Amino acid sequence: MRCAIIGKPLAHSVSPAFQTAAFRAAGVDATYERWETEPDRLAGAIAALRAPDFLGANVTVPYKERVAPFLDDLRDEASALNAVNTIVNDRGRLVGHNTDVSGFLRALDTVLHDEPVGHAVVLGAGGAARAAVLALGRRGAIEVAVLNRTERRAIDLCADLAEAVASPLMPLGLDAARRALRDANVVVNATSVGMAHGPDADSIPLPPDALHEGLVVVDLVANPLETPLLRAAAAAGARTLGGLTMLVEQGAAAFELWTGLRAPREIMFEAALSATAGAR
């Protein structure tokens, strides 16, 4: 059987490493292929997934929103976000899922356990931020403040998700971080600040002195494993969660949709860890 990841660029994706490890560990005879795809080839790539030897695919940047029109059905979170990260080939019918939401929640539970989310702050307004906001709402956040450098995008995000999320959503500029963090229990970095090799690799998306020990600080940046934000958060006594756990959890949920088997999470995490180290 076959699976693919569709996106561009894909050179640094660690999904092939940990999905291949998962197939091997679970005894599934399947390959996981890197399909770096140009925009004008997207429709053809999706159509190819209908063949009987395909389990499905993952979809990543920049196509999560763009694949929706090529699919036959969108499941709950995928339709609320209008974004798909996992496609399942159900005997020629393509069904779009979004496991970023459940992956985020499983990762969050590794630090939060059964504590309530309380007041949450999400930094950023792109696709990663949208998945985090939906997830925090699903887990009963009292309120989610959405802070973005370009405040207009935070306003749009809150308007788009208002119907799908029961928790009140509050759009703000990044300059409101200090005030928003004072009463917060959970803060999520869904910006690209802190990403290895990016323009802001050494930066922190909020004033470090706004961090405090009552916080759970989640960084969706998966490389490096310890971002400047996570380092500052740990120094302030906060509990921390890095992006690799969510990356593996969204992949584990995809694996379970494709195979119907329980994902070998520890093996996947170890494979993701060594692939990340190799990509540095």
**What positions carry a catalytic annotation?**
64
Say if residue 65 is exposed, middle or buried (CB neighbours under 10 Å; 0-12, 13-18, 19+): middle
Nearer CB in complex with ligand ATR: 20/148: 148
- Token code pair at residue 248: 């593996």
Omega prior to 208 cis, within 30 of 0: no
Residues making contact with ligand ATR (CB under 6 A): 61, 124-129, 148-150, 153, 174, 190-193, 200, 205
Say if residue 160 is exposed, middle or buried (CB neighbours under 10 Å; 0-12, 13-18, 19+): middle
CA distance 119 to 113: 16
Nearer CB in complex with ligand ATR: 151/270: 151
Other CB atoms within a 10 A radius of the CB of residue 62 amount to: 13
Asked if residues 87 and 57 have their Cβ atoms less than 8 Å apart, the reply is: yes
Closest contact distance (angstroms) between CB of 96 and ligand ATR is 17
Asked if residues 227 and 219 have their Cβ atoms less than 8 Å apart, the reply is: yes
Asked if residues 120 and 141 have their Cβ atoms less than 8 Å apart, the reply is: yes
Nearer CB in complex with ligand ATR: 16/124: 124
Closest contact distance (angstroms) between CB of 98 and ligand ATR is 13
CA distance 157 to 133: 9
Q: Residue number with the shortest CB distance to ligand ATR?
A: 126
Nearer CB in complex with ligand ATR: 87/125: 125
Element (H, E) at 198: none
CA-wise closest residue to 272 among 28, 32, 9 = 32
Nearer CB in complex with ligand ATR: 20/58: 58
- Token code pair at residue 175: 């300059």
Nearest 5°: CA angle at 133, between 83 and 167?
125
